[in-house]
Structure 1
């Protein structure tokens, strides 16, 4: 009697590539990426028109590209998780790869890939903008970009993207996860502005506030524990709870 061997399980790298494709080849993913690219271009054009010549540098223009990617790309991370349940893809996904924790890891790593790609795209757009600024707008034209500044930009995008994936795992509903992803930080910021007693905790728990030094490349010793605390609240806790829910949820 011939014994059939089980096919080898796909590697984590292959699963990550599959998740990257799933993030980008849907209609929602395509348009989110397209809008992000258009936002890059629009912000660079605005900066070329309104910024003072000394501010027209490679790094100065690159900084403007961090915001649209930080806002829009996490939505792709959310949809990469919630679409498994709202579009009934979980049955196929978890039949082919029963180890759900590997699928979850692949989704997080795919988010890392997309976050890194957004930084590369920002660098390319900034290079074009800087060349235009030097040629037509008397810009400073400095090409200086430190390793620390680049690392801060990458970390900023990785955090935002992973928060999106975490919210998707926790809520598993596209509309609810997207609304809560934008609503909760906004409500928290409003409360801290209105209530004096919350302003000190906000310095530790408001992710928008604690991650701003990453964008500005001004991270100092005291900023790192504050960033870690806010990442714990907005990323680690939802991700851990979402992973526990993902591992236990029945596939219909």
Structure 2
């Protein structure tokens, strides 16, 4: 018995339905884009090396009581936090600089999903950087007692890990928000570092700005996540500063991406 094959009648066309990529798949694609370029790959490598360098310096400096897992891990975050926003900027602006957005939006016309995937990919990269610093801190805590008089304490809670993760995710998302708002890699990098720094300087020099700076100075409100007490006021200050430096450019940038003409 031969198999029967159904052939569409001549002149008829059946629409081909293709499943749109899911958000996790889009996020994986954006992750690949972020680290497959030379700039992205070497930036992530530099972040890992900076974290390692911070840990190595801590092994040979400071008091013996400070050479423990928590301090090694915390000390590595400052260098990471300085560079991670650039990762977020590149993740967003890279395609606009290389003019490959037309291909991306042709494959997924719903631009808001692309924006969400880029933000999610940036957050995953921040988590990866934190994970790398955990590894360096653990290795340092094993090595330090052998070559120094370190205490080698392993005391560290999940609350501390959550704070650090939140700190780094906030940093990278602020960078992404600047990238969305400006859609230019050099301009976004320059303004990301210049504007908050200028606000910090003005807040410290002008007495009338001292109180507003306590609520709008991003460096102050986020540093409390690493080494401060998270009171209700501290959370309020963090939320207020993020409304200015994260939410506002993110909303403006998303609106710009949704309305921009892609060439």
For residues 144 and 217 of structure 1, do their structure 2 counterparts lie closer, same or farther at Cα, with a shift above 3 Å needed? farther
2:137 corresponds, among 121, 126, 133, to: 126
Query: Partner of 1:53 in structure 2?
Result: 64
How do 1:216-231 residues align onto structure 2 when only pairs under 5 Å count? 216-231=227-242
**Which residue number corresponds to residue 38 of structure 1?**
49
Q: Retained in 1: the 8 A contact 2:54–2:79?
A: no
Q: Report how many aligned residue pairs link the two structures.
A: 252
Q: CA deviation at 1:79?
A: 1.1
Aligned partner (choices 124, 149, 152) of residue 138 of structure 1: 149
Residue equivalent to 2:187: 176
Which has the higher Rg, Structure 1 or Structure 2?
Answer: 2
Question: Runs of 5+ in structure 2 lacking a partner?
Answer: 1-11
8 Å contact from structure 1 (residues 167, 177) kept in 2 = yes
Displacement of 1:217: 5.0
- What is the deviation of 1:4? 2.8
Q: Match of 1:210? A: 221
Listed as ranges, the matches of 1:147-166 within 5 Å are 147-166=158-177
CA RMSD across the alignment: 1.0
Deviations 1:201-246 (A, max 9, x none): 0100001000111111532222100000001110001000000000
Moved >3 Å (runs of 4+): none
- 1:99 is matched with which residue? 110
Q: Which ranges of structure 1 fall in alignment gaps of 5 or more residues?
A: none
User: How many angstroms apart in 1 are the aligned matches of 2:211 and 2:204?
Assistant: 11
Distance 2:235 2:156 in 1: 21
The TM-score normalised by the length of structure 1 is 0.98
Asked whether the 8 Å contact 1:108–1:165 carries over to 2, the reply is: yes
What secondary structure sits across from 1:65 in the alignment?
A: helix
